[in-house]
Structure 1
Amino acid sequence: MDEACEQTKKKKHSTEFKCIIHLESVVSEKVSPFTNVRWKRVTECASKWQKLDGYDRILAEASRHLFEGSFEGLHNEGFHPTCYRRFIDKTRIVKAVKRCENKISSSSSESSKGSSDEGLYPTTTKKLRSSSVLASSITSRVPYPRSSSSRPSRSVLPAVCIICNKVDCYITVYHKRKKDKLCQAETKDGGLLRQAAEAKTDENVLIHIRDKDCVALEVRYHRSCYRHYTRFLSRRTGSHKTDASLKPEYDASYQVFKQTVIQERLIKNQDILRMRKLVQLFTKIVKQHEGLEMINYRSDRLKERMKQDFPQLCFHKPYRKNQCEMVFTEELSTGSVLDRIKSSEESSTTGESSSEIEIENTIPAIHHEIGLEKVRTVFNAGTIVHNEIKDSPAMSCNWPPTSDDINLKEAIKMIPFHLYNLIAWCIGATFEPNMATYVDVSPETHVKILSICQDIVYLTSKGKKQTPKSLGLGLTIRHLTGSSQVLNLLNKYGHCASWDTIIDMETSIAKLQLLTVNEIPSGFAKHVPTTQVNSLQL
């Protein structure tokens, strides 16, 4: 045993080793020399692999002369750790044994059946569609393992998903990545597969299943691919009703729009267009063919018609709310969509044609130039104020707040000066362009602006951030009326806290008062007699 260890140490320093059970996928691992124990383990597994099939049998046959020898006869033979673990894996050996047993049993049954029918029928090989050029175009994209048992069976269509043309598909279920298995069609139309392919005019699928039996063809698909492919057929959509403002003449223009824009640009050329661009193109076509102008035509009307006529179109809403939806076909992958966005936007801005200029002329100059600039300015101002409100502090006092905490001084601490100044400018209280501190207004206006600002802060936080006004007004209404209906009505419009919050506040104040019931009130002192003075009226 000691001699074997010393021999292994000498080998490490003297030679470079070569993996004799090498896998092509292993590239960057270091080759280690065999030890006596590991060599015995490899030789045992090699004797088993020589009786089985697969790539491991090829490795065992190639190094048979080494496995039949002794450990002392090794020179520069070694192994990669990954190759070693895969070669001696007991689970793989057991599966290979079962695979060979099944192959032997199936071949024996076929041979017995063939011998019984040999005198009656000639033995001819049936030509299947899987060996044709059409099937080879699909299987060429799918790398099958080397073992003969794992290759696709000689079925009519190869064992790949007819939708995504892949064997393996991984999905996320409950935050775990799982493999989606291939399912075989059990109906003639493949469920809704044929109907969806005809509605989308998807020739990649129709070329295989048009006017054919999907069960006989052994059509396969992943559940996730099938669900995504046929989702639009099970979607709840109302009956197509013609809009009252949409004149019948627009139907002719819409047919031209479908042919020139949707069919040619979106589907055939696979362009990516914004929804605003599509509305402009449709407006231009209506003006050219019917001489009518649609200034206030809404994009959702056109979107609904496009969804019903072309279910293969995808409508993607960008993260930024000031950008229009992007429209493209579902055949585009995520990478191609990102690549085409920049090119389409650059071509639309730099190479703008005369037809696009005419579309812009159909919209009034004030609405197109000044109006859009106003929208951007107002939107940016609202975003800035919203972020300042979210970062504004809440009431700094402990619960429950007392009279010292419900006042104007505490209220001003919760109001960001961005919001305060914006309200002051909106109502015309001042026109001082000050963005460093609160603007100066009259005391009467100051109270009213604080009231409005507190309502906005309360509304932005959805009632989670209480203000002096919401608590003080609610407590006042509770003491004056005692009506929960009045209090809930004011809470509905965002003026004060809810009934439950006010009751909880009163309960907390009462408990706080019980803790201080033994204290001497202000104005009184210990061991000092009380003097009562009676005034006599003459």
Structure 2
Amino acid sequence: MPQHVYHEEVFGLDPLQRSSSRTRDAPSRPTSRLYDKICIFCQKPKYIKGQKSREPLMQCLELRADDTIRKAAIKKCDLRVLALLSRDLVAAEGNYHKTCYKEYTRRVSSTSSSEVQQEESEAADYEETERQAYEELFMHVRTEFLPNPEILPLTDLTARLERSMNSHGITKIKPSTKKHVRRKLESELEGSLHFVSNEKGRVLLYPDSLSMDDLVKEAHNMKQYLREAQSIKSMDVLTKAAIQLRNQIKKQDVQQSWPPDTQKSVIPEAVTKFLYTLLTGDTECANPSERVQRLAASFGSDLVFAVTCGKTKPPKHILLPFAVKSLTGNTELIRSLNRLGHAISYSQVEEIDTALCVQKLERSAEDIPLPEDMHPVDIGLEDGRPTKINVFFGFQ
């Protein structure tokens, strides 16, 4: 008869209690199959650039990400990452930073040995040219700048360095070359140069040989020059501007046909630019509004008509009196506009009207233009005399 053994604490329990006791005493499921929640590349917490917050981890959820990491690790012969890839990253719930993933999987361009040698040769040539350019700059500072002390912006010496390198065949200057000009000068000339920054952050330098007396004299001369510049009356500036605009109007050669052409602009470009600036306050008014263009054309036409004493007739001064005559028929209104400089005289309006009629008649070769209700009529003759005469009167 077989012998049965049992646990004393379990004996006497019903089947349900025995099942729960076995479940409670069973060992927990091992978690070693999952990787720790840490970046598999940098293996440490990482902060977002320029911020105090940590960059979140991303879990590998796609097989293509596992394949990409695997190819990059094989190319780099990274044994540590290859050991982690012995298991599927998706199943093992591998984590990584997004920036670390991009940096690790970035493709390394495969270059041939000849290309590598060419790059090394170009780098060596650049370093040699840079060294020669700096030597020339140091010589200029020692022979020109230190004996003749003055205040210079650092950009002037940087531009001289660039020109020197360009003369040696280097057309593309590296940013590091421009960035370390101050450090090179300080290390080469030690305490001979002093660097200061103005309120706009622009670096200025002056030699140690520039004494306080020279600075006081220069500051005094500058203040005196500013006083003289401020003492210039604004009327003088306005007078010069008026004379320049008058000369621009008078010197233009405008050949106007007769009757005048109302499609041709007679306003000089200088006058138009002056009016654009006057109306908008913008010195570089590239795209003026329709209102500004309309007002500038009107004011400019008045200036041209007034300066030339009516010899040059802008389109405005021809079309405006014709419009007033057509709408009102008032000749006194046209004369008032002429006295104010906004239109030609009424006599000139009549001359232009007559010239337009003559021009239209010349264009018609033989037939005389008549109104639609007027037709030629044959007059009957009796004893050599007309029996009926039809007389038509035409008024303009």
Q: TM-score, normalised by structure 2?
A: 0.34
Mark the structure with the bigger radius of gyration: 2
Q: TM-score, normalised by structure 1?
A: 0.27
